[in-house]
């Protein structure tokens, strides 16, 4: 003889199963999000104007931490990198890589010269250039020379020197806020 369970018990069990599936899916989503944020992409807020016009104050961006952390990609000239400030590791800065290990960098009245050749910098508009000069420096092994794109308002390697490779932990890759600026960074 077949025993039928009451309709109310079947509905409760169905609702419980549905709730458990939702909790499982939510838990998996949280784990995946945590892995992405800790190891791959991290959202950050830009504070300041030193990277204008590429980045503006209060923009929200994603940085790729995976490539640099695990040595998959090399840091290249022109990359916008995020690093711990060498004189206060509790602060993070974002700047553009200008000089690589072994390069010589000098600045002649605002013109950046790398390895004896003027650097083409289409990302620095004329109104953001300054007329500062800096004597030639050789970049030590494992270190990088970085500058802000808004040269007249940037605190960068001209003032405090190079950045050790170990301090660089990400590359700025994508603007997600405000919506009118959404897109990949170059």
With CA atoms as reference, report the closest residue to 99 among 81, 78, 117.
78
Q: How far is CA 9 from CA 16, 110, 139, in A?
A: 10, 78, 73
Tens digits of residue pLDDT in 111-129:
999 999 999 999 999 999 9
- Local confidence band at 62 (pLDDT 50, 70, 90 cut-offs): very high
**Which has more confidence, 79 or 5?**
79
DSSP 140: P
Tens digits of residue pLDDT in 18-58:
888 888 888 888 888 777 766 678 889 999 999 999 999 99
The pLDDT value given to residue 43: 87
The pLDDT value given to residue 1: 53
Mean pLDDT computed over 170-185: 92
State the Cα–Cα distance between residues 47 and 67, nearest whole angstrom.
Answer: 24
Which residues belong to the active site? 50, 95
**Residue pair 68/61 in contact by the 8 Å Cβ criterion:** no
Reply yes or no on whether the pLDDT at 162 is more than 80: yes
Residue 83: other Cβ atoms inside 10 A: 23
């Amino acid at each position: 003889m077949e025993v039928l369970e009451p309709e109310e018990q079947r509905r409760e069990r169905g609702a419980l199963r549905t709730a458990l599936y939702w909790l499982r899916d939510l838990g998996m989503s949280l784990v995946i999000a945590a892995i992405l944020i800790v190891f791959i992409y991290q959202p950050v807020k830009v504070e300041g104007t030193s990277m204008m016009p590429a980045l503006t104050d209060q923009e929200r961006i994603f940085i790729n931490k995976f490539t640099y952390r695990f040595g998959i990609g090399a840091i290249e000239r022109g990359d916008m990198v995020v690093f711990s400030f060498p004189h206060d590791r509790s602060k993070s800065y974002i700047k553009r890589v200008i000089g690589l290990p072994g390069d010589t960098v000098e600045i002649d009245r605002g013109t950046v010269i790398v390895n004896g050749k003027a650097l083409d910098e289409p990302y620095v508009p004329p109104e953001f250039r300054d007329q500062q000069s800096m004597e030639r420096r050789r970049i030590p092994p494992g270190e990088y020379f970085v500058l802000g794109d808004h040269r007249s308002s940037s605190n960068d390697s001209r003032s405090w020197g190079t950045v050790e490779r170990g301090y660089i932990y990400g590359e700025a890759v994508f603007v997600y806020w405000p919506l009118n600026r959404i897109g990949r960074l170059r």
